Amino acid sequence: MTTEENLPTGKLKIVITYLEMRNRPQLRELTPPSAKIKITPAINPTVSFYRYLYNTVGGPWMWYDRRKMSDEQLRAVIQNPQVEICVLYVDGVPAGYAELDRRHETDIELAYFGIMPEFIGQRLGPFLLNWMIDKAWSYNPQRFWLHTCTLDHPKALAIYQRAGFVPYKQEEKIVDDPRALGLI
């Protein structure tokens, strides 16, 4: 086992937890925390708008996979008809987003999910998550899954479990530090 002190320069040790739902959870109350909230699908979003969402939501948590992609690679994913990006707005301002990946026949992945830093702590995360769970199960998948890691918000794992996701695998990885790569 590698300790933080033994890591090579430019590397991070993370623990990834994979979670799933195999059955649709009981219907939950989807009352928004404020009347000024709207969730809107982003149909064929521009790369620049998607990068704004991804970088703003993911910046504090060092999301970098999509930062490594060229505009053409990213466009091919985000404009795929089987990928759904839903944006949470508060008073007309983007406050977060979630991305469903339906490219696999029987499984749906919650590929990305998060709230803009200025909106964290306002109960928007659980509201958006419940909304996305209902959206995913409307397609009748065999499984709805996601992964989170120790770089994500400290409450992420607990929020996913409260929503009904169950951990099924955990792994430790050594990854490139996106700051050392100049991505963040």
User: Using one digit for the tens of pLDDT, what is the confidence trace for 76-114?
Assistant: 999 999 999 999 999 999 999 999 999 998 999 999 999
Looking at residue 2, what is its pLDDT?
A: 46
Looking at residue 4, what is its pLDDT?
A: 57
* pLDDT tens digits for range 136-157: 999 999 999 999 999 999 999 9
| Rounded average pLDDT over 36-46 | 95
* pLDDT tens digits for range 16-26: 999 999 999 88
- At 67, is the pLDDT very low, low, confident or very high (cuts 50, 70, 90)? very high
CATH of domain 4-176: 3.40.630.30
Taking the C-alpha atoms of residue 81 and residue 78, their distance in angstroms, rounded to an integer, is 8
Looking at residue 1, what is its pLDDT?
A: 45
Nearest to 59 by CA among 101, 112, 124: 112
Q: DSSP code of 67?
A: G
The residue with tokens 């937890």 is 17
Query: Taking a C-beta distance cutoff of 8 angstroms, is the pair 146, 19 a contact?
Result: yes
Classified as helix, coil or strand, 51 is helix
